Amino acid sequence: MKATPQIEADKTLLRFATYEDYLDSLGTPQDACYLQSVETARTIANLGYRSSGETLTRGQFEKRLAAVLAYLYPPYKAYELTSEGLVTPDADMIVRELSSRERANRIGILSTIIFLRAFTKSGVEVSGYIDYTDRLTKENWKPFFKGLARLMPKRTDLGFYHWKSEDVVSNDSLNYKVLQHPQKGLIFQNRFDRKIINPDPEAHPGSNTSRKRIYSKHCELCILFDHVVRQRI
């Protein structure tokens, strides 16, 4: 997809998780002071009284945001299972588990976040949260499914922590926005159904989400968060 001037201008919409957030951004401190009602302030903004330019309707907002996301994260072509015919019965557990989830992640009915703690070849521990679908669309997974390469966290993943340098990095991905909750800490919001995935081991992982620990000789710790994607209403 070609980047049009409209798409470039609409990249500012990525700041908003919902249409309501967009309307709230148009409000003024005076609105909060005198109206004493979030809904009234949003109604006034929706009518165009809080913007010198165009105020988007809900339909326009969602259409333009979808166009920006389609440009930044182009939809993948008809899927081809990389793992098909490569995974043997005696393969490492993490290889078998991710192989069984590949199809569902490629067609979008499942969205898996992988938490890994592992050691680099130099013996340094790194950890991170990986958007499995995002990585599937961008990398060659054949060496992994053949058992010739390890899965490792990267600085471009949802979350990355280098235990020696203490570098912390977070990035939004194809499926998730990374959020910092004041009480829950790091959480992930699915872009398609807006459900929250909470990686805190002491908390429930979230609606339509399950947590499973995988034991593998290739990493210190592996947790799979499987989120069943529901169509947004």
Q: Taking a C-beta distance cutoff of 8 angstroms, is the pair 202, 221 a contact?
A: no
- The number of distinct structural domains making up the chain is 2
Percent above pLDDT 90 for the chain: 58
> In whole angstroms, what is the distance from residue 128 CA to residue 199 CA?
11
Q: Point out which residues pair with 162 in neighbouring strands.
A: 126
Is the pLDDT confidence value at 49 over 60? Answer: no
pLDDT of res. 4: 79
Q: Does residue 105 share a domain with residue 58?
A: no
Domain span holding position 118: 93-228
Q: Kindly tell me the burial class for residue 179, based on how many C-beta atoms sit within 10 Å of its own C-beta (0-12, 13-18, 19 or more).
A: middle
Q: What is the tens place of the pLDDT at every residue in 78-108?
A: 567 999 999 999 999 999 999 999 999 998 9
Is the pLDDT confidence value at 35 over 60? Answer: no
Is the pLDDT confidence value at 232 over 60? Answer: no
pLDDT of res. 19: 83
Q: What is the tens place of the pLDDT at every residue in 150-194?
A: 999 999 999 999 999 999 999 999 899 999 888 888 999 999 999
Q: Does residue 182 share a domain with residue 126?
A: yes
What's the chain's average pLDDT?
A: 86
Q: Does residue 104 share a domain with residue 29?
A: no
pLDDT of res. 233: 40
Is the pLDDT confidence value at 52 over 60? Answer: no
Cα-based angle 33, 36, 39 (whole degrees, multiple of 5): 125
Q: Does residue 9 share a domain with residue 101?
A: no
131 token code pair: 């958007």
Residue 85 lies in a domain: no
Full-model pTM: 0.67
Q: Does residue 110 share a domain with residue 211?
A: yes
Pick from 24, 41, 72: which residue ends a domain?
Answer: 72
Q: Does residue 144 share a domain with residue 36?
A: no
pLDDT of res. 31: 55
